[in-house]
Homo-oligomer: A and B are copies of this chain.
Amino acid sequence: MADYSRRGVLQGIGAGLASTALVNGARAQAAQPRKLGYAIVGLGSYATKQIMPQFRNCEHARLIALVSGTPEKLERYGAEYNVPKTHRYSYTDYDKIRNNPDIDVVYVVLPNSMHAEYSIRASRAGKHVMCEKPMAVSVAECEAMIAAARAANRKLMIGYRCHFEQHNLRAIELVKTGFVGRPTLITAEHGFYAQPGQWRLNRPMSGGGSLMDIGIYSLNAARYLSGEEPVELVSTEYTDRSDPRFRNVEDRIDFQLKFPSGVIANCVSSYSSNHNGFRVTGTKGWVGMEPATPYDGHRLFTRSGGDTEQVQLPPPRKNQFVAQLDHLPESVLTGIPLRASGEEGLRDMRLIEAIYRSARERRAVSLV
């Protein structure tokens, strides 16, 4: 599952491709936590409202550079986060990040169709890459991103924040340790009402509709909850093409995944109604969350022997955003395997393409 073996990482660092500071950090495992420098690429609302405020709580990550096509945003957020003018880049200047040793990691938070290009250019500039999900808009792009990171001997991580969220992790653990008995069914439902006029409704930017946006949470949850890869899927799409929001992207696309152990996942992806939950049911009970994948306010429930209980967890040491931002540096510094690698993003993209194909061809698609 890891992108790199520990030896590979250390060899990569030893090969002088990393900044001197990074090599020192890797050698010393210092008493003072080493922080890698992040460049944020794309200053939309997710980057500015959700991600950037989290760096202050990170142990191993710091916000060191910004990339945006809007000078006003560079000015505003540069000032707010004390990013020196030398560390603010336009897209024209983007490749110059190569010459900035303070930048260890490039975090791509652009519209989906730009993920591949900006990730690959970051890899080629010798940087580790964190890229938002969906990883890209096609399997071919994902493969090119993985190849570019590998060629540069740099890490590539996809922003699956739920892999770092404690309620989700507890749900996974409960399933894995047998709380539900033998799992038989997963339901995973994600949707929201997409307001008109956003880039997500414009296929050249988004690469697709709800599935490429919110539906990937259902897909990824089905995989991490089952701990398996599906062997077959079917899907059903419904899109009202008279709705101006849906001129070139899909509204709803629901899919069933069949896993080798026999678990079936019924998954929802919608741009017309609010859904945020999952449940794993087995022979002895179930584990579920609702909401399952919000920014905060997660609620975890279990049912066994007729009693439904809410599982209360103590506040985490690191929230999902902080844990995610710290994880890539930890992997760089210590060689621990990445929890959400480029291969993970590629697996979802292969399934996304198959889900679209199933809906289009109105038939089951075999995945083995």
Which of A's residues lie within 8 Å of B, judged by CB? 181-182, 184-185, 187, 189, 191, 193, 232, 234-236, 238, 240, 252, 254, 256, 258, 262-264, 266, 268, 270, 272-275, 281-283, 285-286, 362-364
Contacts and interface: CB of A to CB of B under 8 A. Distances in A.
B270 A184 contact: yes
A226 to B, nearest CB: 12
A269 B236 CA distance: 18
- 7 cross-chain pairs, A with B, having the tightest CB-CB distances, nearest first: A362-B364, A363-B363, A184-B273, A234-B234, A236-B256, A266-B266, A238-B262
B254 A264 contact: yes
A362 to B, nearest CB: 4
Which has the most chain B C-beta neighbours within 10 Å: A185, A262, A270? A185
A232 B272 CA distance: 20
A185 B234 contact: no
Contacts of A364: 234, 236, 362-363
Given A184-B272, A235-B256, 20 more contacts: A181-B273, A182-B272, A184-B273, A185-B268, A185-B273, A185-B275, A187-B189, A234-B234, A234-B235, A234-B362, A234-B364, A238-B258, A238-B262, A238-B264, A240-B262, A254-B256, A254-B266, A272-B283, A273-B283, A362-B363
A363 B252 CA distance: 19
A268 B267 CA distance: 12
A185 B232 contact: no
Nearest to A256: B236
A340 B187 CA distance: 30
A270 B234 contact: no
A263 B236 CA distance: 11
A100 B363 CA distance: 54
A268 B362 CA distance: 20
A238 to B, nearest CB: 5
30 contacts: A182-B272, A184-B252, A184-B272, A184-B273, A185-B191, A185-B270, A185-B273, A185-B275, A187-B189, A187-B268, A232-B362, A234-B235, A234-B236, A235-B256, A236-B256, A238-B258, A238-B262, A238-B263, A238-B264, A240-B262, A254-B264, A266-B268, A273-B281, A273-B283, A273-B286, A274-B281, A275-B281, A362-B363, A362-B364, A363-B364
B252 A236 contact: no
Nearest to A257: B236
A254 B238 CA distance: 18
Contacts of A264: 236, 238, 252, 254
A289 to B, nearest CB: 14
B189 A254 contact: no
A283 B240 CA distance: 14
B240 A236 contact: no
Contacts of A274: 281, 285
A283 to B, nearest CB: 6
Given A187-B266, A266-B268, A283 B193 contact: yes
A193 to B, nearest CB: 6
